[in-house]
Structure 1
Amino acid sequence: MCSKWRKLYGQSLDDTEVPFTEEDYRRRKHHPNFLDHINAEKIVLKFGKTAKKFATYVVASGLQYGLEGGILHAFFKMAWLGEIPALPIFGDGSNVIPAIHVLDLAGVIQNVIDHVPKLHYLVAVDESVHTLEDLVKCISKNTGPGKVQKVPKENAFLTKDLTQQCLDHLLVNLRMEALFVKENFNIRWVAQTGFVENINSILKEYKQSRGLLPIKICILGPPAVGKSSIAEELAKYYKLHHIKIKDVISEAIAKLESIVAPKETGEGEEEGEEEEEEENVEDAQELLDGIKESMEQNAGRLEDQYIIRFMKEKLKSMPCRNQGYILDGFPKTYDQAKDLFNQEDEEEEEEIRGKMFPFDRLTTPEFVCGLDASDDFLKERVMNLPESIVAGTHYSQDRFLRSLSNYRDINTDDETVFNYFDEIEIHPIHIDVGKLEDAQNRLAIKQLIKEIGEPRNYGLTDEEKAEVEKKAAEDRLAKEAAETAEREHKEAMEMAEKIARWEEWNKRLEEVKREERELLEAQSIPLRNYLMTYVMPTLMQGLNECCKVRPEDPVDFLAEYLFKNNPEMQ
């Protein structure tokens, strides 16, 4: 409802100088498109009159910000990710947006509950008069690229995180003033002066609420121990910026050269932006000359003072402040670490030995990893590298041995870079890569992820989530198909084995039957011989006699005949 106040209350769109207050409720005329809003208000107030137990109010609040971002979340996200060179301002950006911190709105509601005022229509906004351009510029400056770009209102529909309702809110043009709240309520304001004046605390709330805390990692160790490969994998996993000395120096020199080089002013550039981006060309030229002179005097190497300066600028850049960084192989010495991470506003007095000296928490790493391995392990690893990789790099024999010896010499002193971190209570994670016996450093990466914890960012986008879900579904279907095929194969094997066992059993049964028949036949031979020799001749004679005599009882006659003519009896 708050996005349509000027239409809803019949106030002229051009009359932004006159603030909307509680008094305007008396003379408002609702727009036909918002009849449902008016009816809802009437029902609420009528219910409060009929049900005496309830006191009902209509609170017209400004657009809410704070904590997780509210209406400005899309701009926070675009700025934090740093994927676009400038934040968009839809339209000319001159529309005034009434706003209030969500906690201040809660304070207004609490005061309504506590005081039960007679006035039933209240306005709840902070004291600011900010335009859309003011809000977007503030977000861009404090957590983004620092630049804005005005685009047509139609382009707003291309922003995935902005719905039609969000756009209606952002394009509203209305000044509101909470006179009754200001004069009668006692509120402990969180952001009474508005969004822009309280941006630092609002940003802190937003990042903490959404878990957008930077992860700052420093990986140190001897040459060929695997610093860059591990840093690269961690940078992908945590979506951090992989910072290498060579890249930082190249970027800094390129930036100085672009400042010194003559520029052509574009027609679309605004005067205010030109003034903000204007650099001191003379200072840039002087610094560039000093860099070139230093490199000429040191055989192409740059002095520490320049490296530290460029590194500090990189670590304080907005992308590193937002997401964090992985510092690859730097600083190398105690003094470099102290110069890089010290507080710039600290006094130049010598700190007492043993007392923790001040350091810049904004740029100092949260996790320090010390990789190490024996010299023999590192030499063997470099010797096994392909010639195409070794050629022209610091892995060539002379350069590698010199770098390795230099690293060992530096880290045998009393003041090493690891001592520095121990002194400021950031205790390094030491990993012996040689003992892990893992050429791809997967075990070291897994151990570091366990120590560092989960990523602290927005997580996957809707497209990435859909892709992950699609891949998970495909993997699940493939797994189910493999399990089904395995089960069918197992069942087929079991059935084949069962059939083979059945056939073997039948074969053995037939063999047993045959052996039994042969045994019975063998055992019946003596009996047959006896019958043929002694019984059959007498039996045949008895039968013949039986046929001749034809007695009344042939069986009895035959038995009597066999008994009388038994050869053994004779």
Structure 2
Amino acid sequence: MADEQKTLSPRTKKVFVNLIDSYSSKCIGKFLSNCIPGASLEDDEGEEENAITFQIVGTVETTTDKRGSRFSSDEYCGVGREDLLQRLMECDVIVYNISENSAQLDEASWAISALHSEINNFGGPKMFILISTVMTWALTKPIDPDDLDIPFTEEDYRRRRPHPNFKEHISIERLVLKMGKMKKSRLSTYVVAAGLQYGMGENIFHYFFRASWLGEVSRVPVFGSGSNVIPTIHVNDLAGLIQNIIDHKPKTHYLMAVDDSDNTFEDIVKTISSVLGPGKIEKVPKEEAFLIKDFTQGQIDSLSISLHTEAVFLKNRFNIHWVCESGMVASIDHVVKEYRQNRQLLPIRVCILGPPAVGKTTVAAKICKHYKIHHVTVKDAIAEKITQLEEVLQMDSQEDESFDALAAQELLDSLKDNMNQNGGRLDDQLVFQILREKLNSKPCRNQGFVLDGYPKTYDQAKEIFYGEEETEEDTKSKMPPFNQNIIPDYVFSLDATDEFLKIRVQNLPESMVEDTHYARDQFLRHLAEFRDCSLQDETVLDYFDELEIHPEHMEVTGEDSEYLAVTEKIIRAVGKAKNYGPSAEEQEEEVHRNDEEKIKLLAKEREERVRRDAEEAVWRAAQLEEWSKNRKEVKRQEQELLEARSIPLRNYLMKNVMPTVTHALIECYKIKPDDPVDFLAEYLLRNSALVD
């Protein structure tokens, strides 16, 4: 390592950052890895070609997480204190971030103490930067009790009083500042009091972004009154401050890292909700935050801080290229853009077309479930709009500043009158208006949608997806103007033979067919209309072709009655999901469900094995009994056969042999020879002629 350091360019600085696989430290490390040492000393930010940047090393919580490996030259996981000290000694700058992980407090305290004890063994001057938090100011008394809006600055740092849960943070701040006063030429130390960090995918504010994005709540919660002023800073602006400290080596050793905003907690949540979610908030007791697993105790404490701050030194002395100088609320569009990019949250927009009864709704439902996107049908969109208007009219006008009872009532009456005059149907223009509003809604804009069975014609497509303005490029390319925010990315055309469609309708349950266009006469009429539209000079598929969104045709057959093959083919064409995966609770439920299914499966297999063993035992007993019976029968038959075969032989012996033998025995008895056997043999041999 020492040899490697000698070969490095003199401009190269090795920077250590703790836990570079965590949110804040990762962003800081990544930012510094793209910075040239000394670049912030110059007004011109133009980078030299092949310029050497900071060399980043650091600890990681786990080796399985490779996020830091994109910018760091070395990562340390699970190293002991002695080995870690050796690695710190090799670095020019040591950055310890304790702003988001209280578990690093002890290590940070050890690191500065250990480095100070080795100060005489340094190969060159070192810098130690502690990134702390404004929570060490949480209970500071106002500068002027009569004017609570006077902000605190770096000059007031000796007045600071920490939140009760952040007393250890301020102790480490004091230790770091103390260690830097002894041999400044060898070890310079800095403390940065960082505001609540945001941007680049979010951390402490992520719950509010996620809740707004997913649209699972009608109102995003604000814990407490929401009137508390929260000091904040974009995480890349904090990284820019660290870069300036390394380059400038300022004489001021306690610095504040906050932007120019003076936003309240309510301002921040309301802005997030307006841009990503329902646009409404709900103030709930602070205690409810403890019921949400996304928050730690430290984060809940941080969100309750109320502090007016101003980073005077940062603004007046440093050369920072701000990302969000005015704060999150003023720069929310940029922050949301980063949020989407870093978390890969991109809408998936699909349109499924085809003849009536081909299975569009079945396939659309499967696709929506797979990607967690929204199923849009004309019928449901109209019903939802009417319900929404009726609910708005029942609301108290004071609950919503945009409430317009008269306009809502007029639109509701217009929709109902139009439907009454057209036998329950709406005019096309009203359908277009409702569908455009639905596709432009935040849920559809955020996650995406599957548009089911509409539009049906070229003109309908132009009316729904039309662009606000026609550009010169659209005119030159003869491409119809379109709204990029709602135009489908994928179009799938399902088709089947008329015979298949008729059979499928005939097999549908009566409850599904009654009072729908699946009724026999209506179905045949709708099918004929669809075939006629497909033969027009300009079809709805031609519209998408003109926009370079080429529809993919899929044939539906009776072999795929569950539409699994079609669904799988669409999923392959669309690709991976671009939305949030299962939540921690959903993952836990899935694991629990899988465990239960495994237990049930094992129990079933055990029962099946016991049943098979019992059946096999019965079968074997029956087989053994049958075999025993058969064996006895075979022996009996063999005995009978032997006896039957022995009768002629016995008769022959009784007639021809036994008389001679009997006579020989009688003679032997009379004579009583010395060798009876020899006597019998000679006798039988002499008298064999008597045997016939």
Q: What TM-score do you get using the length of structure 1 for normalisation?
A: 0.83
Residue of structure 1 equivalent to 2:461: 337
CA distance in 2, matches of 1:90, 1:104: 27
In the alignment, which residue of structure 1 is the partner of 2:527?
A: 404
Separation in structure 2 between the aligned mates of residue 301 and residue 174 of structure 1, nearest angstrom: 57
Name the structure 2 match of 1:464.
586
Could you tell me whether the CA contact under 8 Å between 1:8 and 1:30 is conserved in 2? yes
Which range moves more in the overlay, 322-331 or 379-388? 379-388
Whichever residue aligns with residue 253 of structure 2, its letter is H
SS of 2:454's equivalent? coil
Residue 62 of structure 1 contacts residue 124 of structure 1 at CA under 8 Å; is this kept in 2?
yes
**Please, which of 185, 188, 204 is the counterpart of residue 71 of structure 1?**
204
- For 1:447-462, list aligned pairs within 5 A: 447-462=569-584
1:179–1:290 Cα change, 3 Å = same
| Counterpart AA for 2:571 | I
Q: Deviations over 1:43-79 (max 9, x none)?
A: 5456666899765432211111123321111211222
Maintained 8 Å contact 1:334/1:420: yes
Residue of structure 1 in register with 2:358 after alignment: 225
Alignment of 1:244-393 (within 5 A): 244-252=377-385, 265-266=397-398, 269=399, 273-274=400-401, 277-279=402-404, 281=406, 301-346=425-470, 351=475, 355-393=478-516
Counterpart mapping for 1:236-247 below 5 A: 236-247=369-380
The aligned counterpart of 2:314 is: 181
Q: Which amino acid aligns with 2:687?
A: P
Distance 1:440 1:518, change over 3 A: closer
Q: Work out whether residues 542 and 558 of structure 1, in 8 Å CA contact, stay in contact via their aligned partners in 2.
A: no
SS in 2 for 1:477: helix
Is the alpha carbon distance of 1:139 and 1:13 closer, same or farther for their aligned partners in structure 2, counting shifts above 3 Å? farther
Q: 1:13 to 1:511 in 2, by over 3 A?
A: farther
Distance 1:482 1:18 in 2: 72
Structure 1 partner of 2:133:
2
Amino acid aligned to 2:278: P
User: Which residue in 1 is equivalent to 2:229?
Assistant: 96
The structure whose Rg is larger is: 1
Q: Deviations over 1:366-402 (max 9, x none)?
A: 2222122222332333344455543432233443333
- Larger relative contact order, structure 1 or 2 (CA cutoff 8 Å, min sep 6): 1
Give a deviation string over 1:476-535, Cα, whole Å, max 9, x none: 112112222333344445555656666666667767777489759939746787662333
Separation in structure 2 between the aligned mates of residue 288 and residue 560 of structure 1, nearest angstrom: 138
Q: CA deviation at 1:422?
A: 1.4
Which of 145, 151, 166 aligns to 1:19? It is 151
Q: 2: CA distance between counterparts of 1:399 and 1:557?
A: 119
Q: Structure 2 CA distance, aligned partners of 1:442 and 1:567?
A: 100
Contact persistence 1:20–1:175 (CA under 8 A): yes
Assess if the C-alpha contact under 8 Å between 2:138 and 2:305 holds in 1.
Answer: no
SS in 1 for 2:201: coil
Give the 3-state SS of the residue equivalent to 2:493 in structure 1.
strand
Q: Secondary structure at the match of 1:196?
A: coil
Greater displacement, 67-76 / 177-186:
177-186
SS at match of 1:60: strand
Per the alignment, residue 670 of structure 2 pairs with 544
Letter in 2 for 1:163: T
CA positional deviation for 1:89: 2.3
**TM-aligned CA distance change 1:524 to 1:37, over 3 Å:** farther
Deviation of 1:249 (Å): 3.3
| Equivalent position of 2:172 in the other structure | 40
User: Which residues of 2 match residues 179-218 of structure 1 at below 5 A?
Assistant: 179-218=312-351
Letter in 2 for 1:563: E
* Segment drifting more, 65-74 vs 302-311: 302-311
* Structure 1 pair 542–130 and aligned structure 2 pair: CA distance change class (3 A): same
State the secondary structure of the residue aligned to 2:494: strand
In structure 1, the residue corresponding to 2:228 is in which secondary structure? coil
- Flag the 1:405–1:177 CA change in 2: closer, same or farther, 3 A: same
Which residue identity does 1:567 align to in structure 2? Answer: N
Aligned length: 552
Distance in 2 between the 1:349 and 1:207 partners? 28
Which stretch shifts more, 501-510 or 418-427? Answer: 501-510
How far has the Cα of 1:361 moved from its partner? 1.6
C-alpha spacing 1:441/1:31, structure 2 compared with 1 (3 Å): closer
> Which moved further from structure 2: 400-409 or 333-342?
400-409
Letter in 2 for 1:556: D
Shift of 1:255: 5.5
1:414 aligns with 2:533: no
Q: Which amino acid aligns with 1:22?
A: E
Distance (Å, rounded) in 1 between the aligned partners of 2:183 and 2:634? 102
Asked if 1:556 corresponds to 2:682, the answer is: no
Moved more, 419-428 or 514-523: 514-523
Compute the displacement of 1:288 (Å). 6.5
What is the identity, as a one-letter code, of the residue corresponding to 1:4?
M
Structure 1 residues 419, 559: CA separation in 2 closer, same or farther (over 3 Å shift)?
same
Distance 1:539 1:50 in 2: 138
| 1:483-562 alignment, distance < 5 Å | 483-495=605-617, 515=638, 519=642, 522=646, 525=650, 532-546=658-672, 555-556=674-675, 559=678
Which of these residues, 57, 60, 65, is aligned with residue 193 of structure 2? Answer: 60
Change over 3 Å in CA distance of 1:486–1:278 after alignment to 2: closer
Given that 2:461 and 2:540 are in contact with CA atoms closer than 8 Å, whether structure 1 keeps it comes out as: yes
SS in 1 for 2:459: helix
Q: Provide the C-alpha distance between the structure 2 equivalents of 1:536 and 1:468, rounded to a whole number of angstroms.
A: 98
1:148 aligned partner: 281
Identity %: 48
Residue 2 of structure 1 aligns with an amino acid whose one-letter code is: T
Look up the match of 2:687: 567
SS in 2 for 1:58: strand
Comparing 90-99 and 179-188, the one that deviates more: 179-188
Give the Cα separation in 1 of the matches to 2:451 and 2:177: 61
Q: Spell out, residue by residue over 1:119-147, the C-alpha distance to the aligned partner (whole angstroms, 9 max, x if none).
A: 43322222222111110110111011112
Amino acid at match of 1:86: R
Structure 1 counterpart of 2:554: 431
3-state SS in 1 of match to 2:336: helix
Q: Secondary structure at the match of 1:197?
A: coil
> Residue 192 of structure 2: SS of its match in structure 1?
strand
Q: In structure 2, how many angstroms separate the alpha carbons of the residues matched to 1:12 and 1:530?
A: 147
Judging changes above 3 Å, is the alpha-carbon distance between structure 1 residues 300 and 519 closer, same or farther for their aligned structure 2 residues?
closer
Cα distance, 1:169 vs structure 2: 0.9
- Measure, in 1, the Cα distance between the counterparts of 2:243 and 2:218: 42
Structure-2 change in CA distance of 1:524 and 1:114 (3 Å):
farther
Opposite residue 427 of structure 2, the aligned amino acid is E
Q: Deviations over 1:75-110 (max 9, x none)?
A: 112222223332222232221111112222233334
Match for residue 551 of structure 1? none
TM-score, normalising length: structure 2: 0.69
- Matching residue of 2:16: none
- Indicate the SS of the match to 1:57: strand
Give yes or no for contact 1:231–1:328 (8 Å, CA) kept in 2. yes
Q: 1:82, 1:319 within 8 Å by CA — same for their partners in 2?
A: yes
Structure 2 residue runs of 5 or longer lacking an equivalent are 1-131
Q: Which amino acid aligns with 2:133?
A: C
Once residues 388 and 562 of structure 1 are traced to their aligned partners in structure 2, the CA distance between those partners, rounded to angstroms, is 108
Equivalent-residue separation in structure 1 for 2:202 and 2:671 (angstroms)? 130
